[in-house]
Amino acid sequence: MAFKRTIHAVDTHAGCPMRVITGGVPHIPGNSVYEKMQWLEENDDQLRKLMLREPRGYPAHCCNIIVPPNDPTADAGYIIMEQIEYPVMSGGNTISVVTVLLEMGMLPMQEPVTELILEAPAGLIKVSAQCQDGKVKGVTFTNVPAFAVYLDAIIDVPHLGNVKVDVAWGGMFYVIADVRQFPGLELTSSHGKEIARISAMIRQAAIEQLPVAHPDYPGVGITISQLSGPTDDPNADWRNVVTMASGTFSWEDPTTWTGAIDRCPCGTGTCAKMAVLHAKGELPLNQDFRHQGILGNVFTGRLVEETSLAGRTAVVPTITGKSWIYGINNYVLDHDDPFTEGFMVGDIWA
């Protein structure tokens, strides 16, 4: 039976579901994966919406496309797609892409360690995958340089008042607030609705009051928020919950004061948090930083060196984490299906 689109994908999760498209996407032009990402956004954004909206996705879903790398030193390339944007980098998605490439036999696995270079939109990412019995037991990658932009800045958040925040780049621009500013709020699943509400409001206020700029990605601003705080788990150093936007925010419409909670400990969010802690003198180089997500699983970060980026002090982070495959699927779009970009309904979408 012929379909309008047929997409082959492997579904994974590290808490948050992260789909990896392995086939069915036509050639994407561009002289780098970054250019391919830009072309896709401008010419075939239907694919992102189709795969991330209902009935094939839901608000907390992410998706990746395996593409040929342009850099001759890279083993594979990948484009990252989320609900409102195409991030240039994502930690959890990188871990999932590596897991799929090796466990599905798309790239050869070497036990006990497979070394790879991937080309992300952000550039080349060095990867070391710990492998045993044909399975990926852990993935460590060296991320792009991370840096703090604002430390202990005070923003005025309507309906919340003054909130102290940090802003940092870890592959995306994060606004980070200590959860202890909100008495009674806990970084647990049972507080999910209030976490999403407060996080969305903080993100929007930071967008309006704290301008940011990355030298390599003009126009990229704060797009994501993180609430963080201490943990009593001896296997972790800090606890965090990242909230992703799942629609357009409006101060006039309280139903939009929400988002989708990242179910994993968040790799780029961990890098942003480490950059803040380092800038405050609270995290030295070459010390493990165990960052716990809302489900209790942990990504381990480490700052391996200091560097500079366009005259700004930065740090080079590594992230170690695990992802699991949970489905191998063919997704199709029927010729008669009127919902060619999927759909969103207000009971779960902003």
CA-to-CA distance for 231 and 302, rounded, in angstroms? 18
Hunting for tokens 């940092």 — which residue is that?
168
The amino acid at 336: D
The active-site residue out of 32, 90, 228, 323 is 90
CA-to-CA distance for 172 and 222, rounded, in angstroms? 7
Pairing of strands 76-81, 62-67: antiparallel
Please give the structure tokens belonging to residue 316: 């080079």
Those residues whose C-beta lies under 8 Å from the C-beta of residue 129, and which sit 6 or more positions away, are 98, 99, 102, 109, 113, 114, 115, 116, 136, 138, 139, 140
Hunting for tokens 């943990």 — which residue is that?
231
Q: Which residues pair with 11 in a beta bridge?
A: 19, 327
Angle, vertex CA 147, rays to CA 146 and CA 149, nearest 5:
145
Region at 214 (left for phi over 0; alpha for psi -120 to 50; beta for the rest): beta
Q: Which residues pair with 66 in a beta bridge?
A: 78
Please give the structure tokens belonging to residue 163: 């909130």
CA-to-CA distance for 284 and 199, rounded, in angstroms? 28
Long-range contacts of 333-339 (CB under 8 A, 24+ apart): 333/3, 333/4, 333/5, 333/6, 333/50, 334/3, 334/4, 335/2, 335/3, 335/4, 337/4, 339/55
Told to judge if 128 belongs to the known catalytic residues of this protein, a careful annotator would answer no
Catalytic machinery residues: 90
